[in-house]
């Protein structure tokens, strides 16, 4: 968290047990966010996508918070 708080773009990384772990901060708040991995022909992960928000998520949040 110290890296995340100090970084210009709110992100940091550490190595744990041979794996690099990325953490980041967003304005979307706490929650559960869908994560998808892109793999190459050999099945190796070559990209990771996190859906932080879309119009449907924003709309639901506004309704829950009573702002819609």
Q: Residues 18-23: what's their mean pLDDT?
A: 90
Average pLDDT of span 2-26: 91
Total structural domains within the chain: 2
Q: What is the pLDDT of residues 23-64, one digit of tens each?
A: 888 877 777 788 999 999 999 999 999 888 788 878 888 888
44 in the same domain as 57:
yes
Listed residue (39, 9, 46) closest to 24, CA to CA: 9
- Is residue 24 located within the same domain as residue 7? yes
Q: Which domain range does residue 5 map to?
A: 1-28
Q: Are 54 and 61 in contact (CB under 8 A)?
A: no
Residue 35 sits in the same domain as residue 61: yes
pLDDT at residue 27 in the model: 76
Same structural domain, 24 and 35: no
State whether 37 and 23 are in the same domain. Answer: no
């Amino acid at each position: 968290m110290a890296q995340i708080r100090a970084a210009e773009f709110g992100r940091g990384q550490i190595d744990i047990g041979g794996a690099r772990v990325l953490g980041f901060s967003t304005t979307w708040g706490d929650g559960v966010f869908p994560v998808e991995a892109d793999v190459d022909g050999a099945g190796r992960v070559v990209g990771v996508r996190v859906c932080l928000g879309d119009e449907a998520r924003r709309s639901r949040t506004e309704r829950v918070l009573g702002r819609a």
